[in-house]
Amino acid sequence: MGDEVLLTLATCLQKRLNPLCDFVGHIGGDDFMLVLGQPDWRGVLQKILQDFQAQSRRFYLPEHLHAGAFISTNREGKVQTFPLLSLSIGVVELTPERCTELDAGQLAALASKAKHQAKALPGYSLHVLPHTA
């Protein structure tokens, strides 16, 4: 079912992105990279969060949705309670000037920091590192 979840996310991304000014790439696993050129990129990301939240409900039984979690066996064979899917978006906000100051390694480090800070927030989250970070 993990592949279906990734396809659902990819569909949500594709629905909201403009191929004339935006880029989406699948890094691996459940990590995607977006480069957004739309002026209202924050609004676009909020819509992606809403779309995925609505679409991901179909992966659960009504009782899971009501409880906000489900019980299953983990990889070690132990019974565990798992939270429902959520989407965390970490953003590195850059100005054109700032782009010229960063190399690929620095940008990757900032993106990793933004992602980890977004994942530290509970549930669906959007965390933006300012362009001066």
Note the pLDDT of residue 56. 93
Q: Are the CB atoms for 60 and 70 separated by under 8 Å?
A: yes
- The DSSP result for 26-58, as a single string, is EEETTEEEEE---TTHHHHHHHHHHHHHHHHGG
Contacts of 14 (CB under 8 A, 6+ apart): 24
Mean pLDDT of the chain: 91
Note the pLDDT of residue 26. 87
Q: Higher confidence at residue 96 or residue 21?
A: 21
Residue 53 sits at φ, ψ, to 5 deg, of -60, -45
pLDDT (average), residues 85-98: 88
- What percentage of the chain reaches a pLDDT higher than 90? 70
Lowest mean pLDDT among 8-12, 14-18, 29-33, 54-58: 29-33
Whole-prediction pTM: 0.86
Strand segments, DSSP code E, in the chain are 23-28, 31-35, 69-73, 79-83, 88-92, 125-129
Note the pLDDT of residue 133. 52
Helix axes 41-56, 2-16, angle to 10 degrees: 150
Q: Is the pLDDT of residue 113 over 90?
A: yes
pLDDT in tens, 38-90: 999 999 999 999 999 999 999 999 999 999 999 999 999 999 999 999 999 99
Per the listing, tokens 């991901």 go with 56
